[in-house]
Chain A
Amino acid sequence: MTAGPSAVSGGLPVGGAMRVMGSETEYGIHAPSAPGANATMMSARVIQAYAQVTRQRAAGGAEMRWDYTDEEPLHDARGWTLERSAATPEQLTDRPPVLDAEAIALAYGRAELDHDGEDESGSLLMNMVLGNGARLYVDHAHPEYSSPEVTNPRDAVTWDAAGDLVALAAVRRLAGDPELPPINLYKNNTDNKSVSYGSHENYLMPRSVPFGEIARGLTPFFITRQIMCGAGRVGLGQDSSRPGYQISQRADFFETEVGLETTIRRPIINTRDEPHATADKYRRLHVIIGDANLSQAANFLKFGSTAMVLSLIEAGLAPRVDVHEPVGALQAVSHDTSLTATLRLLDGRRVTALDLQWMYFEAAAKLAQDTGVADAVDGDGHTHAVLERWSATLTELDSDRAAAASTVEWLAKLSLLEGYRQRDGLQWSDARLGLVDLQWSDIRPEKGLYHRLLARDRMQRIVDDEAIARAVSEPPSDTRAFFRGRCVSRFGTDLVGASWDSVIFDLPGRGKLQRVPTREPLRGTEALTGGLFARHHEAGPFLAELLGLPPGS
């Protein structure tokens, strides 16, 4: 094995497309019959509605406010033997405080909060941990689904798509409530009026890889991977003031090369560094540049190709290319649907986005072959499929765009828009084209235009519907999400909360909370904890056996 540090693997094969990863989706939210409705309030209603669907109250809810604001009391409550690890309160607070229920009450009046008789405290649910290991919560002014940790791009697609079904279940519930306005959710990234919201990816990397190498290796890749996984957008510029069509939803909202922010002056490479895991071993690479994908094939390539480029960087084998003025190049690529524009490299060469993607593909394919993970039979079971799809997609983008339209989301959307333009003679500034763009991402199968194409088999499936439906309630088996999800499903009433790196029990009759750290993403798997869940159906004995185990599980 010539690949990078074995520390990254934690047991996963290195050199290819496998690594711990996950997705975050902020949904666009809109209540057509209630214009001007408070977006945070509507988002909280979405979470509330899903809680009513699942009744998974116990692992989330307004009680979760300790997660954000009452760190010290929680800290005092830990005093327990497994809690000698280096956890800091900050690591529990993975987001700034959202508008909490009390703040909403102050702003909008208590009556607004009392619509749900089940909620004795009269507060709105802002945060849930789901039985599939995901997190569903209000992030600023959008409902967000953060997928459970998975180990490969196919599972990333599955549990990301499961999030759309979670969101759909909440939308259905709200639509059935005669006292509330129906709420639509859109899996897109902009309102075309200067506002963008994110669809993020997370990848676990060894801490030992220098960040400068990550930024250098990823930047040319991120500038150009949109030709495979962009979702397409009607309008140019942040406010869409110039008519036209571009490849990416997000490209026009990026203003700098490297930085910490995610909401202003967005950087191509985000430096947020919260590993949600053992900090001296791991880095969680937080990728903010991607579009939300409905196309499964595009999503698969987004996660798969990016994971492979990270393997290249870890092995010190990323292509040595530096793009002149990356932010301008990012937007130039997005605005060039012909894929013929050339980018200037610092060494003077001029290359197309396709050229750059082929460079990354060839390097990634070579590393994967050298490490053995790419073998169709004896490989890691994932890398071969990523490479096949990556090369097929680049080939089609170059020479058979009609074929690419069943997988490449921006081309699928463009083909629909061109159909309208041809039939009805519409200009790019026509509102109907803007509506097609928006409604493409409506998550309801009967209204969402992506879903209409999927129903006609014009979009390829790579995961079957049953697997996605199972992933709504089932956690991945091979990460700590299994432990988290099973705890929520099995012992929900005994939990006060869970975060990426802990599950917190509050057992009746005990004076203090018991926090089980889950700081190793590849522990807590079904293989390691399935027997424990099989043996115990009550939290007390379950915890007793668990706490009898050596620390670190």
Chain B
Amino acid sequence: MAGQEQQQPQSRDTEVDEDIPATPAPPEGQASAATQGVDDLLDEIDGVLESNAEEFVRAFVQKGGQ
């Protein structure tokens, strides 16, 4: 969904904590600490994700609940 585009004003960028990624990725070239943090995070998560995403997701079939 492309709904992320109507975004909040960027005027508070200077207040953004460096640990917290902006929801829409910042423009390229803005190699901030936040971007680096996201890259590190994704690298870590690459190593945690179940292998064969398609098969894993397909096999997750639940019976009804409330």
- Residue B53 is within 8 A (CB to CB) of chain A in the complex: yes
Is A336 among interface residues, defined by CB-CB distance under 8 A? yes
Asked whether, in the complex, the Cβ of B41 is within 8 Å of the Cβ of A436, the reply is: no
The dominant DSSP class at the B interface is loop
Q: Tell me whether A458 and B19 are in contact (CB under 8 A).
A: yes
Asked if B48 and A452 make an inter-chain contact with CB atoms under 8 angstroms apart, the answer reads yes
Give the distance to chain B from A426, nearest Cβ to Cβ, in Å.
10
Chain A contacts of B63 at CB under 8 A?
39-40, 140-142, 195
CB distance from A540 to the nearest CB of B (A): 40
Which residue from chain B places its CB closest to the CB of A444 in the assembled complex?
A: B48
Task: Tell me whether B29 is interfacial, beta carbon within 8 Å.
Answer: no
Contacts of B3 in A (CB 8 A): 336-338
Interface size band for A: 35 or more
Given A288-B66, A401-B23, 17 extra CB contacts under 8 A = A30-B59, A39-B63, A141-B63, A141-B64, A191-B60, A192-B57, A196-B64, A198-B65, A198-B66, A263-B64, A335-B1, A400-B16, A403-B20, A419-B41, A435-B53, A439-B49, A456-B41
| Interface presence of B62 (CB below 8 A) | yes
The residue from A32, A262, A452 contacting B44, defined by CB atoms under 8 A apart: A452
Alpha-carbon distance between A458 and B44 when the two chains are bound, in angstroms:
14
- The residues of B that contact A340 with a CB separation of less than 8 Å are 6
Tell whether A511 is near chain B: CB-to-CB under 8 Å.
Answer: no
Knowing A398-B8, A402-B16, say if A28 contacts B23 (CB, 8 Å): no
A262 touches B39 (CB 8 A): no
Contact mask A419-453 → B, CB, 8 Å, 1/0?
11011000010011011101100000011010011
Residue interface bits B22-66, CB-to-A below 8 A is 1, else 0: 111100000000000011011011001110011011111111111
Q: Do B57 and A438 touch across chains, with their CB atoms under 8 A apart?
A: yes
Contact present for A193 and B1 (CB under 8 Å): no
B1-27 to A contact mask, C-beta < 8 Å, 1/0: 101111111001001110111111100
Q: Does A405 contact B (CB under 8 A)?
A: yes
Are A439 and B65 in contact (CB-based, < 8 A)? no
**Set of chain A residues within 8 Å of B66, measured between Cβ atoms:** 26, 139-140, 197-198, 200, 262-263, 288
Nearest residue (CB) in B for A261 is: B66
Give complex CA distance A190, B6 in Å: 28
* A522 within 8 Å of B (CB atoms): no
B20 in contact with A402 (CB, 8 Å): yes
Beta-carbon contact of A423 and B62 below 8 Å: no
Q: A29 near B: Cβ within 8 Å?
A: yes
By a CB distance below 8 angstroms, the chain A residues around B56 are 32, 435, 438
A458–B53 contact, CB under 8 A? no
- Bound together, the chains give a CA A190 to CA B3 distance in angstroms of 23
| Contact A435-B57, Cβ < 8 Å, known A415-B21, A419-B21, A446-B48 | yes
A338 to B4, CA, bound (A): 6
Interface of A, secondary structure class, is: mixed
- By a CB distance below 8 angstroms, the chain B residues around A400 are 8, 12, 15-16
Closest chain B residue to A399 by CB distance? B8
Q: Which of A197, A418, A449, A456 contacts B25 (CB 8 A)?
A: A418
Contact between chains at B45 and A452 (CB < 8 Å): yes
Contact A402 B62 (CB under 8 A): no
B-side contacts of A161, CB under 8 Å? none
Q: Considering the chains assembled together, what is the distance between the CA atoms of A115 and B13 in angstroms?
A: 59
- Which 4 pairs of residues, A with B, have the shortest CB-CB distance? A197-B65, A141-B63, A198-B66, A431-B54
How far, in whole Å, are A446 and B49 apart by their CA atoms in the complex?
Answer: 10
Partner of A402, one of B6, B22, B50: B22
From residue A103, how far is it (CB to closest CB) to chain B in Å? 15
A530 at the interface (CB under 8 A from B): no
| Most chain B CB inside 10 Å of its own CB: which residue of A30, A418, A431, A435 | A435
State whether A402 touches B60 (Cβ < 8 A).
no
Contacts of A419 in B (CB 8 A): 21, 25, 38, 41-42
Contact status A28-B62, CB under 8 Å: yes
Indicate if A508 sits at the interface (CB-CB under 8 A): no
By beta carbon, the residue of chain A nearest B63 is: A141
| A399-B9 contact, Cβ under 8 Å, with A139-B66, A336-B3, A435-B56 | yes
A453 to B57: give the CA distance in the assembly, Å. 21
Contacts of A402 in B (CB 8 A): 16-17, 20-23
B65 touches A26 (CB 8 A): yes
Q: What are 17 A-to-B residue pairs whose CB atoms are below 8 Å?
A: A32-B50, A140-B65, A142-B62, A191-B60, A197-B62, A197-B64, A288-B66, A398-B8, A401-B8, A403-B20, A414-B4, A415-B22, A419-B38, A423-B42, A436-B45, A456-B41, A458-B20
